Every structure is written in structure tokens, then in C-alpha cells.
Amino acid sequence: MAEPARATHGMIDYDLNSVDQIKNIEDHETLLREYAGKTQSLNEVPAIADFGCGPGLGSLRTVRPVLDVWRKAPPAQRVSACFVDLPGNDWSALRSRLFGQDGIVSKPNPPQIQLVARDFYKEIFPKNALSLSTAFYATHWLSRPQTTLSPGTLWFHELPALAYADLRQKALNDFAHFVKNRMHELATGGRLIVSTMGSVADRNTRNGVAPSRSILMPFATETAYAMVKDGLLEQSLVDNFVVAVWFLTADDARSAIHQAMSQGTACEIEHLDIKFSDGQDADPLGGLLMTPHLYARKKTKAARAVLHSTLKAHLFTPSSDTPFEAAQLAEIFYERMERAIWADACRGPNRRHLEKKTILTVVVKKTEHS
């Protein structure tokens, strides 16, 4: 039987256009080292798994500080590093990076490496096999693509109330499931570190919640609907498509973890925070705003890196008769999006859309069953 579709199968050009994600990992290096110290003696060979590793640039920065701490522990430790992503990930890029000059394999005392092409919503490793699990900028992707009547928007936070409540429940179930599977794989005392875009309560928004805001959200919606108006994309497709992501609030994360606990998962929340940034800090490409064409090009590439696989599957291909036509629609979409971002960047302080980042970070500890 064919495997069901996953939300981000076949992402492209991610490494070249992931400054946001890399910055978030760098911001958490101290936390990674701290938890490496706390987990170094749980398994005979300490093992980290990075879930949603992508093609490698971010994942290497996640795993390297942990391995550095473990290798220094006496006696000089053997260590293991596992990289998990969907089969459509760019595994060749990841392999060259791991085994390349600046990779983690060329060092003395190299780690045992496993590349695992699996869906992280399933159980992947044997019970107690891991010491530390990480997931950076990955768990906001839901387990399945979503179709729901959502006229005027491609984004979860602007859905009509009932559709919003329904998708929220799916997102909580997904996260509970993710935590449950990771806890099974960790040794007692092992930690799961998750960090990705989050949301906060905000009474001024349609559903009472404001998500981490990227300008890619409004520009993707505006571009898709402009193409509907010009007869290039089918209205019913755009009206029923929502990008399969969800940014949890701190309370959402807590209740999903409690859901996993109520289903028999022995764990506790050890750390949970939400951090905000706006202005230049929220937009690592903000330094390019003085050159609007460069800013617009880089922003559009970042959009392509994370959104292309889902837009292709749900909008471009079903609106076309041939793969060539679908590729042309994609080019038109990104060209228009780039032009719109450029025009907005040219407005300087009067830009219509600004970024405001909200990052949710959670550490969950596997405990003994009482």
C-alpha cells in the first residue's frame, strides 16, 4: 500500500535559505551543551537523534555541541548521532556535509552515524536507545497535508472558527504523539528538546491567538489570490488549501504533553519558554532592507525552500495539465511574490508587513513509571 503523503516531502534548497532556522539553533547552543552534560552517562554509547534534520547545515550545528561535550566526558566516549527526516529529504547533501571536511565524521573519535528516512510521527528507535533527542524548526509541520474550507487565507491562524478548532486539536494530537514516541525511545533521564515557531494569546486576532509572524504568510496568500484573479490558479483549490503547519502556544504544548502523560507516557516538562523578537532581531535578512531587490530575492528563496513542496502538490500541479505547466505556474508565483516583497520593502518604515518572531522551546524529561 502506498505511504500516505507527508507535509513537507521533497523540500528544496533549504540549506541555502535557512538563516532564520540557523539563528534559532545558535541561540540554543548553551541549552544544548547543558543537556548534553545531563545525559552523557545514560547509555553505554551516548546517542543523540535529530528529528527533522533537513539537508544538514542546521542539524550539524545542533548535534556538534552535544557530541563535543560527550566526547570530553571521561573516559573519552564513543558517541552516536542519528539523523531523521522524510524520504524526500536531500540525503546526499546531508551525507556530504557529515563526511566532508567540516563535518563531524572527519574528526578523531568519529561518532557512529545513522541516517533514518522515516516519518517522525512514528516510533523509530528501540526502547531506551537514545540519550538526547532534538527537533529544531520541524514539529510545526503537521503529520498530514490539510484540506479545509479557508477562503482568503493559506494559514492556520486565520481559519474560520470551527476549522481552526478542528486543526488545533489535530496539532495537539500530533505533538502528543510525537512526545510519546520520543519518550519511548529515550533512556530514563533522557531529554527531548523541541524548539520552533510558537504563538501567544492575543484578543485582537481572529481566533484569539497570534502566531510567530513571517512576511511570507501574507505575501504567499496575496500572490495565490492574485493568480486566482488572473485565472492561473483554481479558486476552489486555493480556498480549500491551508499550509499544514501549527505554531503551538505554551499552553498548547503543556496540554499536548499532559495528553501524552495521561496515555501512560512517563515524563515531565523540565523547561518551557516563549521568546519574542521584532524589528531587525526578528528578521535575520533585515540587514538587506537597504537593498530591497536583494531582500526580496532572499525572502522569496526562503519561501521556496520551505513552501515549494506543499504549494506544488496542492496548488500548482492540480491547476495544470502537465508538469511543465506546473513548473511555469511555480515560476510565476515566485516572481510575483518577489515583486510584491520588493515593492513593500521599498516603502521603508511604512512597510505593510513586518516580522515578529515567537519561539517556543520545550525540554521534556523521560521519568520512571511510578
Ligand X SMILES: C[S@@+](CC[C@H](N)C(=O)[O-])C[C@H]1O[C@@H](n2cnc3c(N)ncnc32)[C@H](O)[C@@H]1O
Min dist. Cβ of residue 58 to ligand X (A): 2
User: Cis before residue 75, ω within 30 degrees of 0?
Assistant: yes
Residues linked to residue 135 through DSSP beta bridges, in sequence order: 194
The stretch near ligand X (CB under 6 A) out of 18-26, 70-78, 214-222, 330-338 is 18-26
The stretch near ligand X (CB under 6 A) out of 5-13, 99-107, 145-153, 345-353 is 5-13
Residues between 68 and 87 that touch ligand X (CB under 6 A) = 84-86
Min dist. Cβ of residue 33 to ligand X (A): 17
52 binding ligand X? (CB under 6 A): yes
187 binding ligand X? (CB under 6 A): no
227 binding ligand X? (CB under 6 A): no
17 binding ligand X? (CB under 6 A): no
Residues between 280 and 339 that touch ligand X (CB under 6 A) = 306
246 binding ligand X? (CB under 6 A): no
Q: Which of 21, 39, 133, 300 binds ligand X (CB under 6 A)?
A: 21
Binding characters for ligand X, 126-145, by CB under 6 A (x = yes): ----------xxx--x-x--
Pairing mode of beta strands 80-85, 130-136: unpaired
Residues between 107 and 126 that touch ligand X (CB under 6 A) = 119-121
Residues in contact with 135: Cβ distance below 8 Å, sequence separation at least 6, in sequence order: 50, 51, 52, 120, 178, 192, 193, 194, 195, 196
Q: Which of 48, 49, 53, 176 binds ligand X (CB under 6 A)?
A: 53
198 binding ligand X? (CB under 6 A): no
Smallest CA-to-CA distance from 338 within 367, 369, 301 is with: 301
Q: Which residue's entry shows cell 481572529?
A: 206
Residues in contact with 209: Cβ distance below 8 Å, sequence separation at least 6, in sequence order: 157, 199, 200, 201, 202, 249
- Which helix (H) or strand (E) is 38 found in, with range? helix 29-39
Cell reading at 166: 478542528
Q: Which of 7, 256, 307, 362 binds ligand X (CB under 6 A)?
A: 7
DSSP-assigned letter for residue 252 = H
58 binding ligand X? (CB under 6 A): yes
Within 13 Å and on the Cβ side, how many CA atoms surround 67? 24
Residues between 254 and 283 that touch ligand X (CB under 6 A) = none
Min dist. Cβ of residue 102 to ligand X (A): 16
Strands (E), 198-235: 199-201, 209-211
Min dist. Cβ of residue 198 to ligand X (A): 15
361 binding ligand X? (CB under 6 A): no
Min dist. Cβ of residue 134 to ligand X (A): 8
d(CA 220, CA 142): 19
DSSP, residue by residue, 93-132: HHHHHHHSTTSSSSSSSPPEEEEEE--TTS--S-TT-EEE
Residue 22: exposed, middle, or buried by beta-carbon count in 10 A (0-12, 13-18, 19+)? middle
Per CB under 6 A, residues contacting ligand X are 6-8, 11, 14, 18, 21, 25, 52-54, 58-59, 84-86, 89, 119-121, 136-138, 141, 143, 306
